[in-house]
Structure 1
């Protein structure tokens, strides 16, 4: 039985991530919504339209699984086009209409997930990958909202301070390790990795056995940016020991589907360096477009899509 307090904490983090992105886009005028983002062909309006579309699909999965399954079957043959068309259609709406749509979908999804946690604590919701628990669904939505929020922040020239909510993104990256290898047609490593990440507050987030030979270390922010394919590895301070760990850092992803080309290196300073870990603040691959989240269960059976702008989270529970 899931810990109700832990599930509530994830849902609180999801609402905070929504609010963080809302604060970036709500003040924008029509020209601001038309600002190009690092995701090729996507403006800020496309980013929010994609998130609205995804929240609506997640809401359908939680409230009407049969209807979601029918829609998923329709999309199965051309998923990337299906995702892109959702963003393209939504981006044509007036900014006020699009913002209201995203807010409404987010609010409804938050309420549905809260009700599911209270009334059906052990239920697993269908998704584009394996089914997800309520906590996994919420954690995956944190990841995708944060990743697309990075695209919006980059477009606006805003540097967001990382928060403890990155834990959900980092954990998703870790449990989706084997899925990432499968995307490239490679066998999953036989041994677990030791992951040691410096959290935004300076504490240490650890995953895996302490004595594992294969190790990854560095700022949590950097691993998260790498796994959602918002930064090139050469621009990040995450490091690996061991051949398998080294390979993983070149292919890590938190989303279902092909990885895309990713972002080119910029030669800039490491994102993990110089950030103020104590300050509050907000807070995918041909440069990061839409997709689906892998989900917290991705380690066992991931499956979501997240093109440079962002396919959807993969799905599943760890």
Structure 2
């Protein structure tokens, strides 16, 4: 288990890298379209700010979060929250860039402070299953990295992968069953072995070494796949076993309904 202090430190570092990409942009550049259809750079930052605020609410006032969630569910099923999320991103994107950036900065700092104050064993409500403070920090890391990838892509910037990818990969492995459930399919009962090569050549592993169902390949490719930033055909991932193979077609580390993913590059 990764210590919460390390998780939140990595989350702040990841956020700071994305912040550096957008902080010097002229206002008109915030309207640059990203690979997510209909989402500009401003939409991406607004989504991060909004989701950090929702996580902050979950960490500080679970009852208020549950009431907000119930109100949203009355409008659309919880597995069809795409419109809800799009509307929130659209509203935030209308803010002047300087104000939006300040909102995001303030929210993520407040969230980190709140997560460090969550008592051990406490489960925080969320749009998916309830989670611990550590899991929430990991989920925020995943979202920040994924939306930061979209921003960098839109701006023509290549970000160097770091060891922080391990948090994203860990969540991708842990959400294996969720990817099936959200599609109304029965998850496999057999454990998988996942072996990924990190940015520095280190190997990260999950699951029993003797497992018959296996996934191997670059950690970056796996993280891009589970956040649905790349089509499986454009990765160097290898699946051994029919269940592992089917998982890579639907892998999803984020809450909400089944994602549409990205089209193949070729």
TM range (shorter): over 0.9
Q: Which runs of 4+ in 1 moved over 6 A?
A: none
- Tell me the residue number matched to 2:207: 208
8 Å CA contact retained: 2:127, 2:256? no
CA distance, structure 2, for counterparts of residue 64 and residue 258 of structure 1: 25
The count of corresponding residues between Structure 1 and Structure 2 is: 261
2:17 matches 1:20: yes
CA distance, structure 2, for counterparts of residue 257 and residue 112 of structure 1: 24
Q: 1:57 aligns with which of 54, 59, 76?
A: 54
Higher relative contact order (CA 8 A, sep 6+): 1
SS at 1:205 equivalent:
strand
- Tell me the residue number matched to 2:220: 221
Kindly provide the CA deviation profile for residues 61-95 of structure 1, in whole angstroms up to 9, marking residues without a partner as x: 11111111111111113232221111111100100
2:107 matches 1:110: no
**Residue pairs, 1:32-181, within 5 angstroms:** 32-76=29-73, 77-78=75-76, 79-116=81-118, 120-181=119-180
2:191 matches 1:189: no
Kindly provide the CA deviation profile for residues 239-291 of structure 1, in whole angstroms up to 9, marking residues without a partner as x: 10100000001110001233332211114xxxxxxxxxxxxxxxxxxxxxxxx
8 Å CA contact retained: 2:252, 2:259? no
More helix by share: 2
Kindly provide the CA deviation profile for residues 164-210 of structure 1, in whole angstroms up to 9, marking residues without a partner as x: 11111111111111111222332211210110000111010000000
**What is the RMSD of the two structures over their aligned residues, measured on CA atoms?**
1.2
CA distance, structure 2, for counterparts of residue 183 and residue 54 of structure 1: 20
CA distance, structure 1, for counterparts of residue 84 and residue 127 of structure 2: 12
SS at 2:196 equivalent:
strand
CA distance, structure 2, for counterparts of residue 184 and residue 72 of structure 1: 21
- Tell me the residue number matched to 1:281: none
CA distance, structure 2, for counterparts of residue 188 and residue 63 of structure 1: 33
**Residue pairs, 1:216-255, within 5 angstroms:** 216-255=215-254
Structure 2: segments with no counterpart, 5+ residues: none
Structure 1: segments with no counterpart, 5+ residues: 268-318
CA distance, structure 1, for counterparts of residue 229 and residue 204 of structure 2: 21
